Structures are given as structure tokens and as C-alpha cells.
Structure 1
């Protein structure tokens, strides 16, 4: 295409010209620190989640490093209008994650507040989730969980808004007897996934597992 000729796609790390459907060149790809977690085994995400809620299995694709390439990849996805980065990260995930014969029933991604969704134009987790759904033949549901409050910096919140934030998510419909894989971009404290997980767990006889693009460990 003419646009590709005048505005070629470049590696987000070294600026080499690369194919339009890539994020990094082959050399910089080697700099990405993948976790090599086993979904069913012990890992840092499972350890942290167990302190917050009952969790089944956990997986993180990359190690999130403040000055590393993983941070740049997530930044491109969330703030640079690179929605297709979600599809690429999902493809990297499918090359490394094996559910064996114990696939979850539904894929659920952490939602954005409608105002935030309008501002950004897309939920950075949707293409990631939908690509995994297609590859593993697991249904997804973008409507099950809704975010109740538009978030802003904690320091700017008054007492009323801080109290509201104690219940940031809710279910849009009943669900019971399902094993749900909860998907988020970066796992740090685990507070976000914990808030969503408890809504799911309290709704009925459900189980929750967690998958993230990157883990800050």
C-alpha cells in the first residue's frame, strides 16, 4: 500500500522497518522476557492471588519491567492506538499456553468504564481475548462484567468516590457453575482481578483462573 511506502511500520524498540503485522523485529523479539509459566503449576501470580481470593490456575505471558520491552508493548497497546497489538500478544500466548484437557468455560476480560472506552476508542483486552477465544474454541463474554465507576488518580478522589471505588465492578447477569478465565493486561497488586473475581465467585458455584499479558514480579 502507498501508506506503507511513505509511513512504514517500524520496530517499537530499534525503529527498523518491519512487516505491517509485527510489533518488533526478530532481533528485538529476543529481548522480550517471557515468563515460561506453566498454567497449572505454582507461579508468582498464583501466590499473590491466593492471598486475595480462591484461584484455580494462573498464567502470565511476559515479565513486566519498568524499562523493558514488555512495558513498551503494553504502552503501544493501551495508549498508542495499536489495538492490533492485542492480537499479536495473543498469538504469542497461544504458542506458549497449553490448557491440555482442562479448558475454562468462558473468557472474561476486565472492562473499561464506558467513559474511558469512549476516550480510548477500544478496550485493549478485546482483540487479545477474541484471538484466544478463536484459537482455543472457548467462548468469550464482554458484557458479563461492568465497571461501575470512572477511575481517576486516587489522590484526586474525595471521600465519597473512594467509598464508591470499594465496589468497582458488578455482574450484568447471573452466572453459576462456570470456570471463568479472567484476563487483564498487567498484574501488579492483584487488586483489580480480585475485585472482579469476587463478583464472579459470589454469584454462584463458579471457579476463577487468571491470565495476564505481563506480571510485575
Structure 2
């Protein structure tokens, strides 16, 4: 393709030319700070979640550092119209998270407000979750959660204003006795997750596990 020749895909770290289906070159992959968490055991994400809400299990693919490669990857997905990054992250997640014990019943993703969805053109979590749904054979209920208020992006705020943020979410269907895997991009203060989890747990027969692309360290 002429465009591929004129504008080749380049590694986010060293800028070398790579395949259009890659984010970083093989040499730079070790620069990504993968978490190596065990979904079923205690880990930093699970411990932070437990301070806010009941959680079964938790997994973060990467650690999110302000000057790190994981930050560049997430920002390509969220702010640079690179929806394909979601599929690559999902493939990396599926390689590292395989369910050896009980696996969730349903994948659900943090929704965007309609205004933000229209502006961005896609929800950065949908291709990620849809790809994982195929890997794991777990349905992704894409419209289970609804965001009712419009907020400035968390990544664009300082930590003080993140703590002050309040979210207004609702569920679109009353499901009973399900184990949900709630998916988001970056776990920062946990405000978003906290609001959603307690909405889902209004039905006490439900259970929650957490998956994020990265945890803010």
C-alpha cells in the first residue's frame, strides 16, 4: 500500500519501522512494565480495590508510569484514534491471564457518555473486551452499563481533582447471581470502579472481579 510506504508504522519507543499490527518492536517489548499479577491471589490492584468495595479477583496488564511506555500505549488508544491498540492489548492480556479456577460469567466495560463517544468515535474498551470475549468464550455485555453524567477525562486531571470527581452510572438490565468482570483502561483513584461496583452489587447475589489495562503506580 502506498500509505504504508509513505507513512510506515513505527515503534512507540525507538521509532523504528515495524509491522502495521505491532505497537513496539521486539527489542523494545521488554521496556513495557507488565505487572505479572496473579488474578487469583493478592496483588496491588486487588488490595486497592478491597479498600473500596468487595472484589473476588483482580488483574492489571501493565503498570502505568507517567514517563513510561505503558502510558504512551494507553494514550495511543484513547487520544490518537488508534482503536487497533485495544486488540493488541487484549492479545497480550489473554496470554497472561488464563482462568485456572472459576471464571467470570460476563464481561462489562466502563461506558463513555454519549457526548464523549460521539467526539472520540469509539469506546476504547470495546475492541479490547470483544477480543477477550473471543479468547475466553465469555460474553461481553456492551450496553449493560450507562454513564449518566459527562466528566473531564481522568488522565487530564491532577490527583486532587480526581479524588473530588463523582460519577453517575446505572445498569440497563437487572441481572441476578452473575460474576461480572468489570473492565477499564487505567485504575487511578478507583472512583469510577467504586461507583459502578456498588450499582451492580445492589443485587447481593452478584459478584465482581476487576480487569484493567494498567494500574497507576
**Within 5 A, what are the aligned runs for 1:53-92?**
53-92=53-92
Residue in 2 that maps onto 1:9? 9
Distance 1:31 1:120, change over 3 A: same
Structure 1 residue 153: deviation in Å?
A: 7.3
Matched, 1:148 2:148: yes
Cα distance in 1 for residues equivalent to 2:183 and 2:65: 19
Where does residue 172 of structure 2 map in the other structure? 172
**Structure 1 counterpart SS, 2:27:** helix
- Structure 2 residue 215 is matched with structure 1 residue 215: yes
Please tell me whether residue 136 in structure 1 is matched to residue 136 in structure 2: yes
TM-score by length of 2: 0.92
- When residues 153 and 183 of structure 1 are mapped into structure 2, their CA distance, relative to the original with a 3 A threshold, is closer
For structure 2, the residue ranges without an aligned partner over 5 or more in a row are: 155-164
Q: Matches of 2:203 and 2:166 in 1, distance apart?
A: 18
The answer on whether the counterparts of 1:46 and 1:57 sit within 8 Å (CA) in structure 2 is yes
Corresponding residue of 1:33:
33
Residues 105, 139 of structure 1: 8 Å contact kept: yes
1:125-172 residue CA offsets vs partner (Å, 9 max, x unmatched): 001100100000000111110000011379xxxxxxxxxx74510011
Runs of 4+ residues deviating >6 angstroms: none
Superposed, which structure 2 residues align to 1:102-117 within 5 Å? 102-117=102-117
The alpha-carbon deviation at position 203 of structure 1 amounts to 3.1
Shift of 1:39: 0.1
Distance 1:215 1:99 in 2: 20
Alignment match, 1:158:
none
Q: Alpha-carbon deviation of 1:54?
A: 0.4
Aligned length: 207
Alignment check: 8 A CA contact 2:64 2:214 kept: yes
**What CA RMSD, in Å, does the superposition of the two structures yield over aligned residues?**
1.3
Partner of 2:186: 186
In the alignment, the residues of structure 2 paired with residue 59 and residue 153 of structure 1 have an alpha-carbon distance, to the nearest angstrom, of 22
Match of 2:159 in 1: none
Counterpart of 1:201? 201
C-alpha distance in structure 1 between counterparts of 2:167 and 2:66, whole Å: 29
| Separation in 2, partners of 1:204, 1:141 | 20
For 1:64 and 1:152, locate their aligned partners in 2 and report how far apart those are by CA, in whole Å.
19
Unaligned stretches of 5+ in structure 1? Answer: 155-164
Contact 1:175–1:204 (Cα < 8 Å) also in 2: no
